[in-house]
Amino acid sequence: MANTSEATNVVVKNLTFFWAKLGKPVEPFGTLQWELQVRFPKDRVEEMEQYGTVKAVEGEKNTFALNLKKKALKNDGSAAQPIEVVGKTADEVIDPRTIGNGSVGNVKLMLRDYEIKGPNGKVTKRGTQVMLTKVQVKNLVKYTPKTNNDFDFDDISEEQADRAEAVAKKSVKSKRAAKEEDDEIPF
């Protein structure tokens, strides 16, 4: 991969944050990274498509989402700089683990054009790498994780317990039927 231009930074304002994983990197598909989903109304789709794949949010009319990320490791294997998270001012440091769904703010993205060349020297792919570098939280909806002590059996209704038991029994029956069917197949 060869860089074809210098990186540029852009600030995208007034986004709603969901599923913030900015404190500790996660490894969803074999790549250690920080992640943040940003949501916005339909009238911003065209603006946001330049930063990645925009998808409609299921169950929310006229709301769209874009997932932003930054790899936690550089190409040489060394640790990358964590995503900076600030409050209304640059001096106000926000604990990234406290950003709950529905928080509102701005993001800073680094954009860099790239080319991938094949063995013959011809360019096989061109694109723009988008990397989340900074998050500004203007309106924090505080996330407070539940602990094991927060769970009580009174929180589960009889109907929910019965439904969970029925699903579990059905799953066991399906597995037994599939195994019996497999046993009858000659090889």
Residue 4 has pLDDT above 70, yes or no: no
Place of tokens 């769970």: 151
The mean pLDDT of the chain is: 84
Indicate whether 125 and 155 sit together in one domain: no
CATH code for position 77: 2.40.50
Mark whether 130 and 164 lie in a shared domain: no
Q: Are residues 157 and 119 in the same domain?
A: no
Are residues 17 and 77 both part of a single domain?
yes
Q: What is the pLDDT of residues 12-53, one digit of tens each?
A: 999 999 999 999 999 988 889 999 999 999 999 999 999 999
Tens digit of each residue's pLDDT (9 = 90 or more) over 172-182: 555 555 555 55
Q: Mention every residue, 6+ apart, whose C-beta is less than 8 A from residue 102.
A: 16, 17, 18, 141
* Domains held by the chain: number: 2
Element (H, E) at 171: helix 158-183
130/169 same-domain check: no
Is the same domain home to 24 and 95?
yes
Q: Are residues 162 and 84 in the same domain?
A: no
Are 98 and 166 members of one domain?
Answer: no
Give 142-151 contacts, CB < 8 A, sequence gap 24+: 142/98, 142/100, 143/20, 143/97, 143/98, 143/99, 143/100, 143/101, 144/98, 144/100
pLDDT at 151: 52
The Cα–Cα gap between 45 and 99 comes to: 24
pTM score, whole prediction: 0.71
Reported as a single tens digit per residue, the pLDDT across 85-103 is 999 998 998 999 999 999 9
Helix (H, G, I), strand (E, B) or coil at 172: helix
Q: Say yes or no: 34 and 111 in one domain.
A: yes
Q: Please state the rounded mean pLDDT for residues 123-140.
A: 91
Containing structural domain, residue 153: 148-183
Beta bridge pairs of residue 160: none
